[in-house]
Amino acid sequence: MRYLTDRKRAVGMGSAKSGTAHFWAMKVSSFALLILIPLFVFTFGPMLGKPHAEVLEYFSQPFPAIVAAMTFVITMKHFKDGVQVLIEDYVHGAAEKISILVMICVCYAIAATGLFAIARIAL
C-alpha cells in the first residue's frame, strides 16, 4: 500500500495553462458590461413605448447604435465564455467537445444576427 501526500499525488500532473486566460477574459468582459449595461438602459429606455418610426430614427444615430452593438457583442462573448466553463466543469469526453463547438457556433450565430439587425436599423 502506498501512502502519498496530496502534494506527491499532484507532482507531474502539470497545469491546464488556460484557467488564467478564461479568468481574465471573464473579468474584462464583466467590467465592460458593468459600464455598457447602464449606458444601454439609458439609451434604450426612453424609446420604450414610442412609435416604430421614432425608434428607427433614434437608433439611426451613431451613439445609440454603437452602444447597442457593443453591449450585444460583449454580452454574447461573456455568455460564451461562461457557458464554456460550465460545460468544461460538468460534461466530459466527446460530449464535452461537441457541446462546446455547438455552443460557440450558436453564440456566434446569435451575435451575427443581432449585429445584422442593428446594422439594418442604423443604416
pLDDT tens over the chain, length 123 residues? 567 787 777 776 666 566 788 889 999 999 999 999 999 999 999 999 999 999 999 999 999 999 999 999 999 999 999 999 999 999 999 999 999 999 999 999 999 999 999 999 998
Q: Give a yes or no: residue 51 inside a domain.
A: yes
CATH number for the domain spanning 115: value is 1.20.1300.10
Which residues span the domain enclosing 115? 21-122
Total domains, the chain: 1
Q: Grid coordinates representing 110?
A: 446569435
pLDDT of residue 98: 97
Q: Give a yes or no: residue 110 inside a domain.
A: yes
How far is residue 110's CA from residue 116's CA, in Å, rounded to a whole number?
A: 10
pLDDT of residue 7: 75
What is the reported pTM? 0.81
Q: Give a yes or no: residue 3 inside a domain.
A: no
pLDDT of residue 12: 67
pLDDT of residue 9: 74
Contact 59, 46 (CB under 8 A): no
pLDDT of residue 28: 96
Cα separations (Å) of 28 from 40, 48, 52, 71? Answer: 18, 30, 35, 13
Q: Give a yes or no: residue 9 inside a domain.
A: no
